[in-house]
Amino acid sequence: MSLLILSEADVERALPMADCIEVMADALAALARSESHNPLRFVVRPPRASGLLGLMPAHRTGDAAGYGLKAVVVEPSNPARGLDAHQGGVLLFDDLTGRPTALVNASAITAIRTAAVSAVATRLLARDPVDTLAILGAGVQARSHLEAMLAVRRFKRVRICARRPEGAARLAAESRERYSLDIEAAATAEAAVRGADVIVTATSSKTPVLARDWIAPGTHVNAVGSSIPTSVEIDGATMAAASLYVDRRESTLNESGDYLAAAREALVGPDDLLAELGELLTGQAAGRRSEDEITLFKSLGLAVEDLAAAQHAVTRARDLGLGRDVEF
């Protein structure tokens, strides 16, 4: 029995952003049709460790049937070491026999699929045309989100702001060369956000980095960085003012620091979660209702996304001759 192992570089070649956007749309629609099983993630927080271990299992039926398990350590201090904060793998299992079939680098899967899901949300909810994109953060997710946003909307300019100004300046310079676009580092989060049509928050902040007063009517927000109850990027006033869309209600009610903080202030409740993205994709719910409406997609990341992304990467990797088969 052999196991295909895909490295970070293998995944980046086998899972281009444009492909992953469509794969994520399909996976979210399948979830809305009850074709997938996606339990809440299980998180291990050792009392003396600085990071945590997350376990994310999923199963899908139909043509893409199979099991997946992402095991990832989230280490907040890794960016200072030049490493992704997410380290781990996605293990795929055959649906019929349960045989392990592939081990896929989780850092690359997480970076690409998270941004691809935000692209699906932006395609569904953001106005078109647009002018300005604002990104708060300059790490792995900021970089991948810039690529994903440019895949679904034609922006004229991009403003990037990060806690470390040198990181924002470096990402802006690299991105200007890659995309031949007006991309600049902003001095403050407010300066980056004012007048933006689409905003991405991709930070590791535990306190809000985005304020309601900065957001123009009609803006779409992708809130990405906070995926645990103790991290918050979005202030309560923004959560209360925006039309809220999620990847999954159950995950939001149990895991989203942005939602839970606003709920503790009685600013939002379960009924304010208007729809899951999959419900928009399958026609079970409607999206943007007016040009002036502020829409907000609260991203948490789902195991069904990891499963679908890893499956696609494995299929393409075999076509391209990537990865390494080992006896297992």
Quote the CA–CA distance of 312 and 167 in Å, as a whole number. 32
User: What's the pLDDT at 86?
Assistant: 82
Q: Where in the chain is the domain with CATH 3.30.1780.10?
A: 2-110+304-327
Quote the CA–CA distance of 11 and 24 in Å, as a whole number. 15
Helix axes 140-152, 106-125, angle to 10 degrees: 40
Domain 2-110+304-327 is of which CATH architecture?
A: 2-Layer Sandwich (3.30)
Q: Where in the chain is the domain with CATH 3.40.50.720?
A: 116-301
User: What's the pLDDT at 141?
Assistant: 95
Quote the CA–CA distance of 24 and 108 in Å, as a whole number. 15
Picking from 209, 190, 166, the residue whose alpha carbon sits closest to that of residue 80 is 166
Q: What is the pLDDT along the chain (328 residues), one digit of tens a residue?
A: 799 999 999 999 999 999 999 999 999 999 999 999 999 999 999 999 998 999 999 999 999 999 999 999 988 888 888 888 889 999 999 999 999 999 999 999 999 999 999 999 999 999 999 999 999 999 999 999 999 999 999 999 999 999 999 999 999 999 999 999 999 999 999 999 999 999 999 998 999 999 999 999 999 999 999 888 888 999 999 999 999 999 999 999 999 999 999 999 999 999 999 999 999 999 999 999 999 999 999 999 999 999 999 999 999 999 999 999 999 9
| CATH fold for the domain made of 116-301 | Rossmann fold (3.40.50)
pTM of the predicted protein model: 0.96
Place of tokens 């997350």: 54
| Other Cβ atoms closer than 10 A to 286 | 10
Look up residue 224 and give its two tokens: 């990405």
What is the number of helices (H) and of strands (E) in the chain? 11, 16
Output the CA torsion 175→177→181→182 (10° steps): 80
Q: Please state the three-class secondary structure of 254-284 as a single string.
A: HHCHHHHHHHHCCCCCHHHEEEEHHHHHCCC
